[in-house]
Structure 1
Amino acid sequence: MPYHGTVKVGGPADVHELAELMISKIAVGPMNNNSYLLRCRTTGEQLMIDAANEPETLLKLIGEDGIAAVVTTHQHGDHWQALDTVVQATDARTYAGRYDAEGIPVPTDVPLEDGDAIRVGEARLTACHLSGHTPGSIALIYDDPHGHPHVFTGDCLFPGGVGNTWEDPERFRTLLEDVQTKLFDRLPDETWIYPGHGSDTTLGDERPHLAEWRERGW
């Protein structure tokens, strides 16, 4: 079945099969968070993005092959409730943005800077620092050599706008500027966006609304 990216808590994962990478998306409660499992199709190595909650659900998705790493997109608690249990069960290395690492109770093995590379077998992800939702939020960019880019945005970009900045004009300005200059200005319309909650989108679907977002202030 073709990938659609619409998942619900208690339901199955949806799998996006790329030439070199398999991306499994699953929703966990109680805040309808998305967790992503990436698997290199050549080596079988796996990486998880946001061990958000329901550790038993995530460990079942991971399976007996385990994972090499867990990347936490930002410090908000709904994105790391299962992190300790998953790490204890798999001995995975932990990654997070340098400026958010202190806000995550599980120690971060590898603090990420803007532009750092993370390997999943033979696939390469690039960390992209996006400030405003939190000080150290990161997106992860996979530039598929056989197609278009794929970006895991945490809570920084969703269908319909950027992430919550709690009516703080400076935080909103910073987040929108980072999202525009580091994602929209650098990547093509076909770029697939995997957010921290809810449905997927593409940069092309969202690009026409940038001025509207800026004017409304959220």
Structure 2
Amino acid sequence: MTYSGEVKVGGRAQVHELAELMISKVAVGPMDNNAYLLRCRATGEQLLVDAANDAGTLLALIGSDGVSAVVTTHRHGDHWQALAEVVAATGARTFAGRDDAEGIPVATDVLVDDGDTIRFGRIELTARHLVGHTPGSIALVYDDPRGHPHVFTGDCLFPGGVGNTHQDPAAFASLLSDVETKLFDPLPDETWVYPGHGADTTLGAERPHLPAWRERGW
């Protein structure tokens, strides 16, 4: 199946096969969250991005090989409803942004700061701290050595705009600035974006709209 990034609650996962990494995307209810299972092709070690909800679906996706780590992109409750059950079943280490960890009611084993590297198998992810949707949101950048980068943005970047900043002008300015300087500026147009809800996009598809986002204020 060709990867499209289009998933629906109760439907099959979509698998994006890269040279060294397999990315499985699944949607869980009730808020149509995306969860991503990353598998190192060389070692089989796995990492889950956002144990959002429906632990049964996530554990079936993980399978018998288990998962070594779960990264929570931010502290909002729809992104960690299944975290306790997934960790209890797998023994995975938990990762979250330093400034959001206190809002996640499952102990965070590793506090993540901007620029930190998260490793599993032979795969390296670089964390980027993006402030505005929450104080400690993180995005995860995989710089594919045989292709273009891939970035898991949580609720900080979607097709059509940045994440909700609740009509707070300062929070919006902060989030847009961080997204521009830490994602759009250093990464190429081909960079694939995997958001916390809905369809995927690329930085190239969104880049021309940055001035319009800034002007509208959301």
1:43 shift after superposition = 0.2
- Structure 1 residue aligned with 2:48: 48
Alignment correspondent of 1:30: 30
Superposition RMSD on alpha carbons, in Å? 0.3
1:165 is the counterpart of 2:165: yes
In the alignment, residue 101 of structure 2 is paired with which amino acid? A
**1:177 paired residue number:** 177
Look up the equivalent residue of 1:196 and give its one-letter code. G
Q: Which residue of 2 aligns with 1:105?
A: 105
Please report how far the alpha carbon of residue 41 of structure 1 lies from its aligned counterpart in structure 2 after TM superposition: 0.2
1:91 equivalent in structure 2: 91
Pair 1:129-2:129 in alignment: yes
Local SS of the residue matching 2:64: coil
Task: Give 1:120 deviation, angstroms.
Answer: 1.9
Q: Give me the whole-angstrom Cα distance separating, in 1, the residues matched to 2:75 and 2:148.
A: 29
Distance 2:183 2:127 in 1: 12
Query: When the two structures are superposed, what TM-score results if normalisation uses the length of structure 1?
Result: 1.00
Q: Take 1:198 and 1:144, find their aligned partners in 2: how far apart are those partners?
A: 23
* Structure 2 unpaired stretches of 5+: none
- Tell me how far 1:40 sits from its aligned partner: 0.2
Equivalent residue, structure 2, for 1:201: 201
Match of 1:116 in 2: 116
Equivalents in 2 of 1:177, 1:46: separation in Å?
Answer: 32
Alignment deviations for residues 124-151 of structure 1 (CA, whole Å, 9 cap, x no partner): 0000000000000000000000000000
**TM-score, normalising length: structure 2:** 1.00
Distance 1:160 1:200 in 2: 11
Matches within 5 A, 1:144-159: 144-159=144-159
User: How many Å apart are 1:2 and its aligned residue?
Assistant: 1.4
Runs of 4+ in 1 over 6 A off after TM superposition: none
Count residues with an aligned counterpart: 218
Distance in 2 between residues matched to 1:155 and 1:55, nearest whole Å: 20
CA shift at 1:68, angstroms?
0.2
